[in-house]
Chains A and B, each alone.
Chain A
Amino acid sequence: MTRFAPPRWTLIALLAALTLIAAVASLLFGAVDLSVARLIAAATGSGDEVATIILFDLRLPRTLLALVVGAMLGLAGAGLQGYLRNPLAEPSVLGTSNAAALGAVGAIYFGVAELHPAMLPVLAIGGALLSLALLFALSGRSESPLTLILAGIAVGTLAVAGTSLALNMSPNPFAAMEIMTWLLGSLENRSFQHFWIALPCIAFGSALLLWNARALDALTLGEDAAQAMGVNLRATRLRLLIGTAIGVGGAVAVSGSIGFIGLIVPHLIRPLTDRSPSAILLPSAIGGAALLTIADLGVRIIPTTNELKLGVVTAFLGVPVFLIHLMREKRLW
């Protein structure tokens, strides 16, 4: 059986082009119809005030956030799948995103974020770290996908319950109405302030995850063989844990818990590579950026009375992927 696997740099270039198109489209569409001419004028500095404000203060930060958050989620999914040797692993399935949302909710609705703006990502990252530590403790050294997914469900459900409780107990009476934004994710009304909060966390987290590339390849043959080939397992695990927690924590702190990007993108990318875990890392990041930007575009284009949440769109895209995988790999457990 032959495989269609384009050379690596061709794949990356194609994905980058797709991402660029998605980003440009994201700048062109919004609640207000602005003609391309007006937008170009605004972009070059000679546009009218309305178009300039909409482009630079509203659409640009939103697009940039969709790109970096999407990239982080795609990369985190690829990294977790490589390390756990399980194609169903990703931050939301494992409960990490929801735990980060719990941290963020704690920061905002209990006034902690008012102490210092950095408290928001710090608490979100803390939530993510705790959940990952709990996950590893629960699933232990088990290589069974079933154990891992069950542990992830347990952690995620706990985090969601905690988030609901926190919002209901908050002294702010409006807090409980914002729960959907946190549990389903949204990029509505984001500003550059959010971008600058998320970017350093995502950059750092991504660097740690990409550093693991070789180790992930070696793990194809199991932990013993990997160690015997020079991989420091403990360092690898630590980089994965901290990189995922910091990156996903920073992303969720500004966008809420968006699911399935980390599941869909590596799954779609894998058949186009040589299937080794290292080969899908960077393409998953770029693909994730493209996918989330497209999903966010969908949120704005699909006509609804109430704001459509990002997580709804990604869920509709993601669940079929889950099902296809399930049906194809009947011997999953």
Chain B
Amino acid sequence: MTRRASLLAATLLLGGAGALWAATSQPAAKAPAVPERIVSINLCADQLVLALADRRQIAGLTHNAADPQMSGEAMAARGLLLMSDSAEQILAIEPDLIVGMPASRSAALAALPRKTYPLLDLETADRIDQIYASIRSTAHAVGHPARGEALVARMEGELAGLPAPGRGRVAAYYQRRGYMTGTGTLIDELMTRAGLVNLAGKLGKPPLSQLSLEEMVAARPDFLIVESATDDVTDQGSEMLHHPALKDIPRISVPQAWTVCGSPAYTQAARSIAAQIARIDRTAL
């Protein structure tokens, strides 16, 4: 191809791409003041929507919302529509607010380029103040800003009254197959709040790493925090957590439903951790 021809082709391509981009990226529509068909496309968004919106406002949640192992608000989700990750379902519901984490990059929405739904993008929460921010923005979007403030106030009150029985002792959040959660995460903040030091931080590990049993034994943490579903041995991953080598380390068990998302269940998790530490200390005396 000649130089001029290739230049022309490039311009056409770029121009075409630009036109396409312009056609698809339209600004999201504005949500009504009190939406009546709210759809949540993310488990963590489910928690907030269930806590803050009226039941009749909720038109669809993710399929994990009613699973008590994964969703703190599982009871509240009963009877509501649980969706699969399908663009067709969204189309059929014709929502007036879609809440996601974030919503704008959802694959289902990408399949509907000509539709513009009002979107609320939430951020993954690694700290309590990010949880408060999400609560506030969600409450505002669903038309009940006062509820959001009330929830935040209640949570602040509960957390303020919690003791910190950790007293600087070391704990490790140990998952199936030896995965360990590091600093800069919600789990880490829960540990700090209870007065515990995260072993992963002490060892300089990234937010997610693997620690072998030998290394865990050598590290000798004062507590192991495990996800309550691993209390039963149902696979090799959970079997590892029950190895006799770990039997001397006291254990704190917290349901994953309370920690996987930055949600109101955070306070339940914090309370449970503090209570279990206190109980372990009492029985050790």
Closest A residue to B245 using CB positions: A57
Interface string of B207-240 (1 = CB under 8 A from A): 0000011110110100000000000001111111
Tell me which residues across on chain A come within 8 A of B240, comparing CB atoms. 189
Indicate if the CB atoms of A31 and B214 lie closer than 8 Å: yes
Tell me which residues across on chain A come within 8 A of B234, comparing CB atoms. 108-109, 111, 172, 174
Q: Closest CB-CB distance, A319 to chain B, in whole Å?
A: 27
CA distance A127 to B268 in the complex (A): 46
Tell me which residues across on chain B come within 8 A of A109, comparing CB atoms. 234-235
Indicate if the CB atoms of B244 and A178 lie closer than 8 Å: no
**Cβ-neighbour of A191 out of B214, B217, B243, B248 (below 8 A):** B243
**Cβ-neighbour of A189 out of B218, B235, B243 (below 8 A):** B243
Q: Is A192 in contact with chain B by the CB < 8 A criterion?
A: yes
Tell me which residues across on chain A come within 8 A of B212, comparing CB atoms. 31-32, 188
Interface string of A189-230 (1 = CB under 8 A from B): 101110000000000000000000000000000000000000
Q: How many residues of A contact B (CB 8 A)?
A: 24
Interface string of A52-84 (1 = CB under 8 A from B): 011001110000000000000000000000000
Indicate if the CB atoms of A54 and B217 lie closer than 8 Å: yes
Indicate if the CB atoms of B213 and A189 lie closer than 8 Å: yes
Indicate if the CB atoms of B237 and A174 lie closer than 8 Å: yes
Q: How many cross-chain pairs have Cβ atoms below 8 Å apart between A and B?
A: 63
Considering the complex, which residues of chain A in the window 1-46 have a beta carbon less than 8 Å from any beta carbon of chain B? 30-32
Q: Closest CB-CB distance, A229 to chain B, in whole Å?
A: 48
Indicate if the CB atoms of B213 and A172 lie closer than 8 Å: no
**Cβ-neighbour of A178 out of B178, B214, B236 (below 8 A):** B236
CA distance A57 to B235 in the complex (A): 20
Q: Is B140 in contact with chain A by the CB < 8 A criterion?
A: no
Q: Is A324 in contact with chain B by the CB < 8 A criterion?
A: no
**Cβ-neighbour of A50 out of B177, B220, B235 (below 8 A):** B220
Tell me which residues across on chain A come within 8 A of B245, comparing CB atoms. 53-54, 57-58, 191
Q: Closest CB-CB distance, B45 to chain A, in whole Å?
A: 21
User: Using a CB–CB distance below 8 Å, which chain A residues touch chain B?
Assistant: 30-32, 49-50, 53-54, 57-59, 108-109, 111, 172, 174-175, 177-178, 181, 188-189, 191-193
User: Using a CB–CB distance below 8 Å, which chain B residues touch chain A?
Assistant: 176-178, 212-215, 217-218, 220, 234-240, 243-245, 248
